[in-house]
Amino acid sequence: MIARPRIEGGSSAAFWTVFAAPALWIVAFFVIPLSVIWAYSFGHTEGLTEVAVTGTLGNYARLSDPVYLWIFGKSLLFAGATTAICLLIGFPYALVMTFAAPRGKVLLLLAIMLPFWTNLLVRTYALMAVMRSEGWINQGLGLIGLGPFEMLHTNFAVVVGLVYVHLPFIVLPLFSTLDRLDRSLIEASLDLGAGHLTTIFRVVIPLVWPGVLSALLLCFIPALGSYLTPDLLGGPDSQMIASVIERQFKRANDWPFGAALSFVLMYLTLAAMAWRALTERRAAARVAA
């Protein structure tokens, strides 16, 4: 009998050799800085630049102020509206991409990817030029005797900008999920007499629901923490929580309170991810049963 070579030790050594560099990078530039900011959230400012970590919960208690609760609620509302609109636009778009001819699929994918090739600041300023009072939209409406309408520096402009920026975060995961769908199930549904809409709602959506949840989170989480878009397109009543965090760190020089705001935002993100994991686990348990 020929003895099998023992490769477990070598495989383990190779794994740790490959894993060591990214692990050190993550610890040095992510875990440690994040831990420092988390510690700051339990402290207070001394002087102009020093932060004393005392274990106080006062910074988190300040979040009960109605002003900050209103801003958090508004941020959740903007992010939720952005995610819903992106889903309404992105799901049909991803569905068309899935069943398009190869050439059409490439063109549709290129159309949704093109914004990523341009800097976000440039795209936002371009959107400002389109939506201003003398912009292309109001000029076009003027040709039919309408307008001009005040769109820039409003809540409407913020939602439009957020949808414009985050739409690819919905389309690409949905397309990836739909493209792997077993099309024989769709054909079977149509052959059995179900209409196209019935097939979409009763067959397609239940099968791709985990992918839909992933796409919703990939859109909702960055939309909730958006800073540039509401800062440039919104007005005084359109500020989101990221703008408040920026002011605490840069203008107010209140790093402990800014850190507390940042981590509340992170806690909300973790809660959303936990909800997704729980939903998927329950769905898997129903399928197994």
Residue 27 has pLDDT above 60, yes or no: yes
Which is higher by pLDDT, 48 or 186?
Answer: 186
Which is higher by pLDDT, 163 or 196?
Answer: 163
Span 85-89, mean pLDDT? 96
DSSP string, 254-283: -HHHHHHHHHHHHHHHHHHHHHHHHHHHHH
Cβ atoms of 126 and 165 within 8 Å: the answer is no
Residue 222 has pLDDT above 60, yes or no: yes
Superfamily (CATH) of domain 65-253: MetI-like (1.10.3720.10)
Residue 69 has pLDDT above 60, yes or no: yes
Span 210-236, mean pLDDT? 90
Residue 5 has pLDDT above 70, yes or no: no
Per-residue b/e over 21-34, b at no fewer than 16 CB within 10 Å? eeeeeeeeeeeeee
pLDDT band for position 10 (cuts 50, 70, 90):
low
| Mean pLDDT of all residues belonging to the chain | 87
Residue-range domain boundaries for the chain: 65-253
Residue 6 corresponds to which tokens in the numbers above?
């023992």
Least confident of 133-142, 193-202, 207-216, 261-270: 133-142
> Considering the chain, what percentage of its residues have pLDDT values greater than 70?
95
pLDDT in tens, 231-279: 999 888 888 999 999 999 888 889 999 999 999 989 888 888 888 888 7
pLDDT band for position 119 (cuts 50, 70, 90):
confident
Residue 285 has pLDDT above 90, yes or no: no
DSSP string, 26-90: HIIIIIHHHHHHHHHTTEEEETTTEEEE----HHHHGGGSHHHHHHHHHHHHHHHHHHHHHHHHH
